[in-house]
Amino acid sequence: MSNSSITSVAYPTIGVVLLGGIANEKTRTPLHTSAGIAYTDSCGSIRTESTIYGDSEMHIYFNGTESKDENRSVKSVLERYRNELQSFFGKKDVSYSSLNYGILSGSSDAGAASIGAILSFIDKKNDIHDIENDIRMISESAGRSLHGGLTITWSDGYSAYTERVLGPEHFNNYAIVGFSFDYPRNPSDTIHQNIIKSKRYKQRTIDADEHAHEIKEMARTDDIEGIFEKAEEDTEEYHSILREVGVLVIRENMQKLIEFIKILRKEFWNSYIVTGGSNVYVIVRRDDLERLIHIKNTFGSKPKILNVAGPAWIKKVE
Ligand code: ADP
Ligand code: 3S4
């Protein structure tokens, strides 16, 4: 008897060593090593939930709307696995429907990983790293969400491989507050297309690789604060290069919040990350969370309390 549908859940991600630059728009292979964490909130409600189901012809829906976007191609990924999907569902074709819930940034990683979890489930012979390479056509940092926790995606620009270096339980004594601003965001493709124009780009790829090695070493000794301090150093380098090539992610009120966060360091440890979206992610010890969440002036942003999340998983098979 064949199945009618599979539903999976995956969590969005935040860069820890930020990625800028992809080899091409089809494979989206990262041009350098990067690292990241998957995140959600305390009840796991920040997530992507996707269903693949047997159908007479392929349709792709994001948040209830049919997508004809050939870029970041969900369609190419499903076509690559067409034979396995056909035999699993016993139908001529399959369709994909995905809903994003409460995501601040990193939705494409979660969307891609939700498909990856399904591809891994339908045929256990599918190697998870081959799946990762295929779903990277949807998002260059899909591996972060597929594996969860803290991951490093090693890349030389030709082939990439994600290694999980810490599970989410290693972050239990820390919380992340995502302060999200109303500024419109630059699509990550704008970042990828422009950062490579910088004279500093070659050095950036070397620095990113070094940051990842340092983070791997700190992960070995559970030095969570060291990891996030390195992440802040990485954020500052990345955005200073982006500013030089005319891509402004950290807007006025985001910068004001960052300066305020740095002043708060006299009172308690914290660190911050800004990825490609209009959010400032601030990491604190869990014991200091109340002090951060109750700051009087958020400079117009809305705070959300986040945790490090686990890998993508299968929720339902029908
Ligand atoms: P983000 O930081 O949210 O990933 P990007 O600009 O990198 O922002 O990517 C946005 C793109 O990700 C969308 O235009 C869409 O193509 C893709 N995407 C978003 N959500 C999903 C999803 N649930 N499934 C597949 N692709 C998705
Ligand atoms: C641009 O895949 P965001 C970037 O490493 C995504 O997190 C790269 O951030 C940088 O678009 C990063 O997911 O916010």
ipTM for this model: 0.98
Q: Given this model, what pLDDT does residue 101 score?
A: 98
Residues with CB under 6 A from ligand 2: 15, 18-19, 34, 36, 105-106, 140-141, 188, 191, 275-277
Residue nearest (by alpha carbon) to ligand 1 atom 25: 111
The span from the CA of 176 to the CA of 179, in Å, is 10
Pick from 17, 141, 153, 242 the residue to mutate for probing ligand 2's pocket: most ligand atoms within 8 Å of its CB. 141
Q: Given this model, what pLDDT does residue 112 score?
A: 98
> What's the gap in Å between 262 CA and the centre of ligand 1?
31
Which band of pLDDT confidence, cut at 50, 70 and 90, is reported for residue 50? very high
Q: Given this model, what pLDDT does residue 70 score?
A: 75
By CB atoms closer than 10 A (0-12, 13-18, 19+), residue 71 is exposed
Query: Which is more confidently placed, 38 or 123?
Result: 38
The pLDDT of residue 69 is above 90: no
Atom of ligand 2 nearest to the CA of 141: 2
By CB atoms closer than 10 A (0-12, 13-18, 19+), residue 316 is exposed
pLDDT > 90: what percent of the chain?
96
- Tell me the average pLDDT across 90-95: 94
Q: Given this model, what pLDDT does residue 149 score?
A: 98
pLDDT > 70: what percent of the chain?
100
Q: Indicate the range of 17-21, 86-90, 227-231 predicted with least confidence.
A: 86-90
Q: How are the residues of the chain apportioned to helix, strand and coil, as percentages rounded to the nearest 5? A: 35, 25, 35
The pLDDT of residue 71 is above 80: no
Q: Indicate the range of 40-49, 66-75, 197-206 predicted with least confidence.
A: 66-75
Q: Over the chain, what is the mean pLDDT? A: 97
Atom of ligand 1 nearest to the CA of 277: 2
Atom of ligand 2 nearest to the CA of 140: 2
> What's the gap in Å between 111 CA and the centre of ligand 1?
7
Tokens of 79: 């076509």
At 226-272, the pLDDT tens digits run 999 999 999 999 999 999 999 999 999 999 999 999 999 999 999 99
- Tell me the average pLDDT across 19-44: 98
Q: Does ligand 1 come within 6 angstroms of the Cβ of 51?
A: no
Q: Which residue, among 237, 73, 211, has the nearest Cα to 142 in the 3D structure?
A: 73
Is the whole model's pTM more than 0.95, yes or no? Answer: yes
* DSSP secondary structure letter of residue 108: H
> What's the gap in Å between 288 CA and the centre of ligand 1?
33
Q: Which ligand is nearest to the CA of 14?
A: 2
- Tell me the average pLDDT across 301-318: 98
Query: Which is more confidently placed, 125 or 110?
Result: 110
Question: Contact, 46 vs 11, CB < 8 A?
Answer: yes
At 153-194, the pLDDT tens digits run 999 999 999 999 999 999 999 999 999 999 999 999 999 999
> What's the gap in Å between 44 CA and the centre of ligand 2?
21
The pLDDT of residue 1 is above 80: no
